[in-house]
């Protein structure tokens, strides 16, 4: 979300300024009154992390000495095109290798290229995209291209762009406008360069966070006449779409891919089960065995964290507000406590609630020396970090992403990533998880683009279950997993189509 | 379901006979064409087990020598009432002790008695019930009584009644009509005695399997004028209700308590995680460590079985038709195979699919010597047991619930419970699980009975999420679990009521 | 151990009586002063259970009405021999089937029969045995026979004999003297009938508990001149042998098979991991999920119990006296506490210490209502059951092996198996575990019988590691497990023989 | 071991040269003929890693531009002493902070300081040490000092010294001779500076690898007259000592601390359970869920790796040569295979055998694309990396410690740390594990220094079990773990001293 990303440095373009102000207001309102749909789900998306740091976004080649803004450079790719703006087109070769490595771990997209290529289901599609620009995104973009689409792309985060990958895409002919370390003004300039093109008008939007959608909404509302649909991945962006829909202002169908089953399970349960260990190890080199840990929240993220730490020999306590999740924690072998009951004895505090101020200054005051505090949940609200910015406490940066906060009596708290998401700041997201997301996005684009008129109205839709199942099926070969097929007799007995969908919508998996 | 239970021995009462025939026809049709709602859910309910054997239904006291039918006996309880029909009223004391023991493990119902007793939320309720008659049911009935209701009760299964408990209930003044080993005719006679009473007419129905509901429907349709609602627990019964609703014939609101979150998780995941081990041990005394096992189906039941066996050192393979569940199996560390790939090498085959003929004669022919085959899924359809009733195979009953099926070359397959549900035939259902169900039923009755007119129409409803959460919260004290409460600020931030519900309806837990 | 088994009812035979008295004295002395070797190991042997009940020892066929003592019966097998004494020779056929089933699960012994049969390594061996008489023992005896040995056999426990199996053995020509429910006098009579034979003198002893050894020692000391060795399985019997050795009275080599690696791991860790769940379920039908459990002792047995309960969702606390085991418990994720700290809150107390009075009356007084108390450790000393035999407490037997002990205020403690070993009283020992033991015994007999003079002196020996490894290797085919062989180069690099032994003696596994 | 570390560049000092040559010969001989004791144990010690890279040995401050050899610098600490040789004495303050942080995680040593300080059990001890020089070693050295000892110290590895820590020690007055990046000549010069001092002669040796011991042996054999004992930590050094002992050349008692229980379990089982995950994540960012892994060797290291990966959802296969360990793998739920059976299908190959050429070129040729290969076992012998240095294969360094080896057909193998120990190259060793080792070393020094004459002869000893237990007990407070004490009655019953030792020597834990 924009307001999390950077302070507004409003530029001289008054037209843009006006829009921005209006936009910012709207978001503030949103912050005050989260609606039920967006917030209640307590979900956590990779794409939420439009915050400052993003560990996997390290630059592979050194270009730190080049201080010229890409906007001021004249660059051409080897085919003579200059319809792009990246840090350094010469880094293309290195980026290409990164893309090739990513392709090997994204077999589903590669399969999609093969299966759908004959028919070119996206022939005629003009997709404008705004996402993190990484090797995995590049595999998605080139897949969309192979399926017939034309694409133009900007970054959804001012820090996360891999310059080498952007260069490789530009070299391959993709109009990409993105670099690591954009200014606020650069950010909107890039987006504008994607959509404001002479002789080209998008008919599909792929968004991550909602900034692109809103830019078009505010600046080029007429474009929506030709747009067939929006595919949105993030919690924040989805929330904005539901807001628009509720206000009767959504003028095209939108697909919420954030809440698909596979995406949710992989972004949350399976990914966090691994990244909680990774994030803690990389930052603290601690040993898990025998440590006492309290995990706040037993949703998918909390379930993943608890399972991993229990397996490594930690003693895990859980806090919950929801009695159903609380009972699950009990049945899974965790003592359900209030944070106050264990705060003095635990070695690690992990928040996974989606809530705010779950860990307060009072809790922090009572923790024992060397207690580690980190957040796996939502945004940077869960730990009241602001309450630690008081004169009597000393902050000491001991490593990247690791601060010691020191009390007057010498007690130290180890605060990771300043309370931002640990797994995005101090760990990496496996390509396999990003593959699930990218495949889901590609299928959603195909579905919206090819849907017969009337199937989707001006509303927000969940991915059809059959597509969710298709995403899953495309990833099974990675594990050499062999699916069983229903016999005709069995399908009839169950009242199912042999090709799915196999479960009712309310099925909980 | 009736047709699973017993062969029809139609009695002389032509009125009843006509109804039965019509009824049976309807059910056969149902068997042929399962609708999507009922079957797709692939769920498994304790109450499905209206099949022959029910291990926990052992009689505690010996009364085998008493051959007189209870219908022919003259019995009175100590207060002089004879409005009941049980095996032997003298067994009341023994049954009372069983009820007292059950009370200790059903704290939620006991809490409900206390919390709701002042206001008597069921004052005026006249409940007719048809369920398994066990100590746990008795605690439910006496709770309903304490809340103000009058109850009359019959058994939903001709074998599952605990005679001592029935006697204790009769002694306490509950009109109970049930005994272990009823005939077909007895079964309907008992139900009829519950509803066909002079000067008393039910206004609530609590059913398990739908037989009571259908009896009233066929014989006393006018009764529905006074009936405020039906609470139904079983998959089968719920399916019938959806059929009625679809056909426009449902004339009162009905509550589907089978699909509540807590009930599903406890009946399936948590309960089966324990009962698969218990069922296998009690029947075969086998060692789990190092055994190769294939589990067919990775729904909640399959997940529970796999987790338990993996923890005990078995090597577990999974088969699935649904790619999403298949991917979950992969991420949980199980190789996903087709049954054919592993059938020659496994030591145990467990079905949990809800499907039919998952294990065929061909599979059985290829299994290795001493392979154990059992069903944890649905009804008795999953293993094609009928295919084993051929002349060249010899059946040898080696223990209760354990058959050796012997091939001409000497190979033996160990078939458990003749392919019926292992956990109901060869294990026991913990009182805690039954407590979840009984509490859910009680709350559903209270909700339907007290709902303002218009809240529920002539349709089938799921339990409101808030009640599901309430059931869970009533069971937390068992684990000395302490729930965290939202602060006002947090509730506002999340857009939630501090008392719940805490999740959107589509939340997957 | 004899003194645990039965009260002495000394018979009229003064010669025997004198010996018994002397023997009993010796044992009492033992009880007072356990030596370091025997007790410190804290190990637990299946064969310790020479206590009253033995669940797997149920009789398969009804012979309860036959009150005649077998000693007074005239029985002949089909070949005309009457050199045996069993309950009823007519049960032979049923017993044979049990033996055949056991053979299928004891592939190691069957393999041993095949591999060693050509050379008949026990040709000339005259083995007198005293063990539990079960189907598994029968497979062992018939294996010994197939390898060339002559055997005579008595039971080591007055309750554990399976009459049908004894009949089958007698029918096959084995002189067996044993039945279920022997008197004290019968017990010694049977042993005497095994050794006191005209024209036959044993040259090998296979003992379980040391009673047979001591009988020969006391009554027929001259027999030891021809005896080549003793193989002893139990903790108690091994302890007695070390005592004899220490006192310089051991006059033949003895093999301690109790402390072999495979036997220890299977009897303790692997077997208890399963039987703790089985024993608790069969007796209480409780649910494990969410239960708080304290396990006293973190040796092999405690490790097994803790791992199983943790996997089933229990919250497990551990008590220990040994700081090394305590640190292991921490690293495995268990809170290490003193019993007093958690005694008020736990749902289950399990002892696995080998110690006495670990659970005292004071602890029992403080337990909460419905707390389950059981012993997985050693003998029946761990829980101070005697302290519960006071007038203010009421005992109520609610099931076989389950007592409620009721305090004046109504609090009930659920005591299992009266504090005796839960896994032997309320669970069963898998055939696979017994197969490990039996194979070890057979190999030890072969080793002692064939060892060149001088290899073994008049001392107690552990099984050579190579044989331990051989026992393990014979059981690998059960799991279709494929061992890797060292190349010549690798064997040289490691300084190992390609056929083992592979580890130094102090290796901890 | 030296010969693993570097190629010999013999310097001009002919006296030293002669010794070195002789020494090298001896070691080569050792490499050819490992004895049973040293190799058979297959153990793995942190200190084995005297190989090139050592990830935790990163320098905290930048001193890369300083090219002057420390030997050529004139440095004094603030007290005016120049009896040391480190990279830069000015880094002392930074190093001091590292030491202070380490102190917080080494409570056992701090407790030892307090408990033993009054009596100064090392008063008069003159210890010469040769170990890795890290913050944890510094805590050990300062503890020895606090207990009364004088210390002089060199590094046992030319790369592992933390310059800042060495500076801090020098500043505190410890004569330390070590820096990161020593030459071969520097290495021996530093050792010589430790022992060859006017007016000071060591009476205790603390060694890690045996280089210091051998230097004294060769150069100053007379020193042994005053030396009371040697404490050696590494597998290699222990092996050398056993060689000397066997050859009758060991002239003082030596303590083998490598094989103490706590050290073994922490260095191997518990540490590797965590570091396998950490090492794989940091190098490859891979996802564990669903991956097929083969672990070669099921000793302590293999057990740790398997447990961790199974918990993370990997499917794990095991290879073994020892049937007992193989059977353990089966019972723990792993399929036991030969490497050839699964080599085509696995995603990861991990060696933990202590053997050589476990993974051969033939195996590498058959692996699938992107297969990850790494070594957790012993030295760098397990994977035949040399076989990959052939012209048709291309090596590509993709990250630090990560090479892609590319086949002509494009297949890539991902080789980690060039086959050296993954957990030392690509992960970190938790301070807690190092604390166990350091405490063991300190206690061994105290024991040898204070032992009454005659307790230890010129032989190699294991740490007395009581001390092993004491090390464990000193670490329990870290986990707030509360040990139970035996009552007098219980101690008598068990025949134990209330303060331990609690187990017989052969106990396996």
Q: Give the pLDDT of residue C116.
A: 79
Q: How far apart are CA D319 and CA D306, in angstroms?
A: 11
Q: Give the pLDDT of residue C474.
A: 96
Rounded mean pLDDT of B245-262?
93
Cα torsion angle, D157, D160, D161, D163, sign: positive
Which tokens belong to B344?
């020659």
Cβ atoms B109, B472 nearer than 8 A: no
* % of chain C surpassing 70 pLDDT: 87
**C369 and B104 in contact by Cβ < 8 A?**
yes
- Distance from the C312 Cα atom to the nearest Cα atom in chain A, whole angstroms: 8
Q: Which pLDDT tens digit goes with each residue over D440-476? A: 999 999 999 999 999 999 999 999 999 999 999 999 9
| Residues on chain B touching A261 (C-beta within 8 angstroms) | 324, 508
D164 pLDDT tier (thresholds 50, 70, 90): very high
pLDDT higher than 50, residue C189: yes
Cβ atoms B370, B402 nearer than 8 A: no
Rounded mean pLDDT of B78-96?
96
Q: Which residues contact C493 (CB under 8 A, 6 or more apart)?
A: D34, D39, D355, D356, D381
Rounded mean pLDDT of A367-392?
94
**Which secondary structure element, helix H or strand E, spans residue D473, and what is its range?**
helix D465-475
**C355 and D494 in contact by Cβ < 8 A?**
yes
B429 pLDDT tier (thresholds 50, 70, 90): confident
Question: Among C215, C127, C213, which residue's Cα sits nearest to residue C176?
Answer: C127
Q: Give the pLDDT of residue C445.
A: 97
Cα torsion angle, D88, D91, D92, D96, sign: negative
pLDDT higher than 50, residue A55: no
D315: closest chain A residue by CA: A479
Q: Which pLDDT tens digit goes with each residue over D313-344? A: 999 999 999 999 999 999 999 999 999 999 99
pLDDT higher than 70, residue C344: yes
pLDDT higher than 60, residue D48: no
Determine if residue D15 is labeled as part of a ligand binding site: no
| Residues on chain D touching C36 (C-beta within 8 angstroms) | 495-496, 504
Which tokens belong to B227?
């009936």
Cα torsion angle, A283, A288, A294, A297, sign: positive
* Best residue in B265, B267, B274 for a mutation probing chain C (most C CBs within 10 Å): B274
Q: Give the pLDDT of residue D32.
A: 31
Q: How far apart are CA D130 and CA D139, in angstroms?
A: 15
pLDDT higher than 80, residue A27: no
Give the start-end residues of each E strand in B285-391.
292-296, 315-319, 335-336, 348-351, 371-375
User: CA B411, B290, B301 angle in degrees (round to 5)?
Assistant: 85
Q: Which pLDDT tens digit goes with each residue over C140-160? A: 999 999 999 999 999 999 988
Q: How far apart are CA D83 and CA D75, in angstroms?
A: 9
With both helix axes pointing from N to C terminus, report the angle between C465-475 and C431-450 in degrees, rounded to the nearest 10: 140
Mean pLDDT (chain D, rounded) = 87
Rounded mean pLDDT of C271-300?
96
Q: Give the pLDDT of residue C386.
A: 97
Residue C177 to residues B341, C194, C212, C442, Cα–Cα distance (Å): 50, 7, 13, 21
Instruction: Please tell me which chains touch B, using 3 or more CB pairs under 8 Å as the contact test.
Output: A, C, D
Cβ atoms B241, B250 nearer than 8 A: yes
* Best residue in B333, B483, B486, B488 for a mutation probing chain A (most A CBs within 10 Å): B483
Among candidates D323, D481, D484 on the partner chain, residue whose Cβ is nearest the Cβ of C476:
D323
Q: How far apart are CA A375 and CA C123, in angstroms?
A: 73
For D44-86, the three-class secondary structure string (H helix, E strand, C coil) is CCHHHCCCCCCHHHCCCCCCCCCCCCHHHCCCCCCCCCCCCEC
Q: Give the pLDDT of residue D101.
A: 84
Among candidates B104, B278, B287 on the partner chain, residue whose Cβ is nearest the Cβ of C370:
B104
Which tokens belong to C11?
């018979």
| Residues on chain D touching B334 (C-beta within 8 angstroms) | 315
Q: Which pLDDT tens digit goes with each residue over C450-489? A: 999 999 999 999 999 999 999 999 999 999 999 999 999 9
pLDDT higher than 90, residue D312: yes
- Helix, strand, coil content of chain C in percent (nearest 5): 45, 15, 40
**B56 and C285 in contact by Cβ < 8 A?**
yes
Residue B424 to residues B137, B189, B354, C449, Cα–Cα distance (Å): 17, 26, 15, 52
Q: Give the pLDDT of residue B65.
A: 52
Cα torsion angle, C238, C244, C247, C252, sign: negative
Q: How far apart are CA B509 and CA B503, in angstroms?
A: 9
Q: Which pLDDT tens digit goes with each residue over D351-392? A: 999 999 999 999 999 999 999 999 999 778 999 999 999 999
Q: Which pLDDT tens digit goes with each residue over B163-210? A: 999 999 999 999 999 999 999 999 999 999 999 999 999 999 999 999
Instruction: Please tell me which chains touch D, using 3 or more CB pairs under 8 Å as the contact test.
Output: A, B, C
C307 pLDDT tier (thresholds 50, 70, 90): very high
Q: Give the pLDDT of residue A65.
A: 52
DSSP symbol at B86: -
Among candidates C274, C282, C480 on the partner chain, residue whose Cβ is nearest the Cβ of B312:
C274
Q: Is B52 left (phi over 0), alpha (psi -120 to 50) or beta?
A: alpha
Q: How far apart are CA C134 and CA C160, in angstroms?
A: 8
Q: Give the pLDDT of residue A66.
A: 67
**Which secondary structure element, helix H or strand E, spans residue D214, and what is its range?**
helix D211-219
Cβ atoms C331, D270 nearer than 8 A: yes
If one compares C191 and B43, the residue with the highest pLDDT of the two is C191
Q: How far apart are CA B294 and CA B104, in angstroms?
A: 38
Q: A153 by DSSP, 3-state: which? A: strand
Lowest-confidence range among A108-117, A266-275, D119-128?
A108-117
| Residues on chain D touching B325 (C-beta within 8 angstroms) | none
DSSP C130-191: EE--SHHHHHHHHHHHHTT-EEEEEESSSS---HHHHHHHHHTT--EE--TT--HHHHHHHH
**A357 and B264 in contact by Cβ < 8 A?**
no
Which tokens belong to D179?
């820096």
Which tokens belong to B419?
């392919």
Q: B293 by DSSP, 3-state: which? A: strand
Q: How far apart are CA C51 and CA C236, in angstroms?
A: 13
pLDDT higher than 90, residue B367: yes
- Distance from the D43 Cα atom to the nearest Cα atom in chain B, whole angstroms: 26
List b or e across B216-238, with b for residues whose CB sees 16 or more CB atoms inside 10 angstroms. Answer: bbbbeeebbeebbbbbbbbbbbb
* % of chain D surpassing 90 pLDDT: 76
B336: closest chain D residue by CA: D290
pLDDT higher than 60, residue D23: no
**B336 and A476 in contact by Cβ < 8 A?**
yes
Q: Give the pLDDT of residue C105.
A: 82
Q: How far apart are CA B304 and CA B299, in angstroms?
A: 9
For A154-219, the three-class secondary structure string (H helix, E strand, C coil) is EECCCCCCCHHHHHHHHHCCCCEECCCCCCHHHHHHHHHHHHCECCECCCEEEECCCHHHHHHHHH
Q: Which pLDDT tens digit goes with each residue over D53-92? A: 333 334 444 445 567 899 999 999 999 999 999 999 999 9
Measured from the Cβ of residue B352, the count of other Cβ atoms closer than 10 Å reads 30
Rounded mean pLDDT of A178-206?
96
Rounded mean pLDDT of B306-335?
98
**D324 and C495 in contact by Cβ < 8 A?**
no
Q: How far apart are CA C214 and CA D506, in angstroms?
A: 27
**A494 and B355 in contact by Cβ < 8 A?**
yes
Rounded mean pLDDT of D128-155?
97
Residue C287 to residues A333, C26, C290, Cα–Cα distance (Å): 12, 45, 8
Residue C350 to residues B151, C271, C293, C328, C416, Cα–Cα distance (Å): 43, 16, 8, 18, 10
Q: Which residues contact C171 (CB under 8 A, 6 or more apart)?
A: C77, C78, C89, C92, C96
Q: B494 by DSSP, 3-state: which? A: helix
CA B24 to chain centre: 21
* Residue found under tokens 């969410």: C290
Omega into A232 within 30° of 0, i.e. cis? Answer: no
pLDDT higher than 70, residue D99: yes
Largest Cα–Cα distance of chain A, in whole Å? 74
Kindly give the residue spans of alpha helices, DSSP state H, lying in D133-199: 135-146, 163-171, 184-195
Among candidates D277, D479, D480 on the partner chain, residue whose Cβ is nearest the Cβ of A277:
D277
Cβ atoms C63, C70 nearer than 8 A: no
Q: Give the pLDDT of residue B34.
A: 30
**A313 and C333 in contact by Cβ < 8 A?**
yes
* Best residue in A312, A316, A398, A424 for a mutation probing chain D (most D CBs within 10 Å): A312
Question: Among A129, A145, A162, A125, which residue's Cα sits nearest to residue A232?
Answer: A129
Omega into A501 within 30° of 0, i.e. cis? Answer: yes
Q: Give the pLDDT of residue D65.
A: 52
Q: B90 by DSSP, 3-state: which? A: helix
- Distance from the D286 Cα atom to the nearest Cα atom in chain A, whole angstroms: 6
Q: Give the pLDDT of residue D25.
A: 32
Q: What is the pTM of this model?
A: 0.88
**Which secondary structure element, helix H or strand E, spans residue D351, and what is its range?**
strand D348-351
Rounded mean pLDDT of A14-20?
31
C32 pLDDT tier (thresholds 50, 70, 90): very low
Rounded mean pLDDT of D205-222?
96
| Residues on chain D touching A478 (C-beta within 8 angstroms) | 290
Ranked by mean pLDDT, which of A46-50, B306-310, B426-430, D6-10 comes out on top?
A: B306-310
pLDDT higher than 70, residue C1: no
Q: How far apart are CA D388 and CA D386, in angstroms?
A: 5
Determine if residue D300 is labeled as part of a ligand binding site: yes
Rounded mean pLDDT of D26-49?
32
Question: Among B353, B355, B375, B352, which residue's Cα sits nearest to residue B424?
Answer: B375
């Amino acid at each position: 979300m924009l307001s999390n990303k950077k302070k507004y440095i409003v530029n001289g373009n008054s037209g843009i300024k006006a829009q921005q102000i209006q936009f910012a207001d709207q978001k503030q309102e949103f912050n005050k009154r989260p609606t039920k749909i967006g917030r209640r789900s307590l979900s956590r998306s990779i794409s939420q992390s439009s915050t400052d740091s993003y560990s996997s976004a390290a630059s592979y080649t050194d270009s730190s000495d080049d201080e010229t803004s890409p906007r001021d450079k004249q660059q051409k790719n080897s085919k003579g095109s200059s319809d792009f703006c990246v840090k350094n087109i010469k880094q293309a070769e290195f980026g290409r290798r990164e893309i090739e490595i990513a392709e090997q771990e994204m077999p589903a997209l590669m399969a999609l290229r093969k299966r759908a290529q004959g028919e070119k289901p996206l022939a005629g599609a003009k997709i404008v995209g705004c996402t993190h620009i990484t090797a995995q995104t590049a595999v998605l973009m080139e897949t969309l291209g192979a399926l017939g689409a034309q694409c133009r792309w900007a970054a959804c985060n001012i820090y996360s762009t891999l310059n080498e990958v952007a260069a490789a895409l530009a070299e391959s002919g993709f109009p990409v406008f993105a670099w690591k370390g954009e200014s606020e003004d650069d950010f909107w300039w890039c987006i504008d360069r994607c959509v404001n093109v002479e002789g080209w008008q998008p008919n599909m939007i792929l968004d991550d966070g909602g900034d692109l959608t809103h830019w078009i909404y505010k600046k080029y509302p007429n474009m929506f006449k030709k747009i067939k649909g929006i595919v949105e991945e993030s919690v924040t962006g989805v929330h904005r779409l539901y807001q628009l829909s509720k206000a009767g202002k959504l003028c095209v169908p939108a697909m919420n891919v954030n809440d698909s089953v596979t995406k949710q399970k992989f972004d949350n349960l399976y990914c966090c089960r691994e990244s909680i260990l990774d994030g803690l190890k990389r930052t603290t080199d601690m040993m898990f065995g025998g440590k006492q840990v309290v995990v706040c929240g037993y949703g998918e993220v909390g379930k993943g964290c608890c399972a991993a730490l229990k397996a490594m020999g930690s003693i895990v306590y859980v806090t919950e507000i929801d009695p159903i999740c609380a009972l699950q924690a009990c049945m899974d072998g965790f003592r359900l406590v209030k944070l106050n009951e264990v705060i003095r004895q635990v070695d690690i505090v992990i928040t996974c609630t989606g809530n705010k101020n779950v860990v307060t200054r009072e809790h922090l005051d009572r923790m024992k020396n060397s207690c580690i505090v980190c957040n796996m949940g939502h945004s940077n609200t869960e730990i009241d970090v602001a309450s630690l910015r008081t004169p009597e406490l000393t902050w000491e940066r001991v490593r990247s992403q690791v601060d010691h906060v020191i009390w007057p009596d010498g007690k130290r708290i180890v605060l990771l990533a300043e309370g931002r998401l640990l797994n995005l700041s101090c760990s990496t997201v496996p390509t396999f998880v990003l593959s699930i997301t990218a495949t889901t996005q590609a299928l959603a684009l195909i579905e919206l683009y090819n849907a017969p008129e009337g199937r989707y109205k001006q509303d927000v839709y969940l991915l059809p279950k059959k597509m969710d199942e298709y995403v899953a099926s495309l990833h099974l070969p990675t594990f050499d997993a062999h699916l069983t097929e229903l016999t005709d007799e069995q399908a009839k007995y169950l009242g199912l189509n042999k090709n799915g969908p196999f479960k009712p919508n309310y099925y909980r998996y």
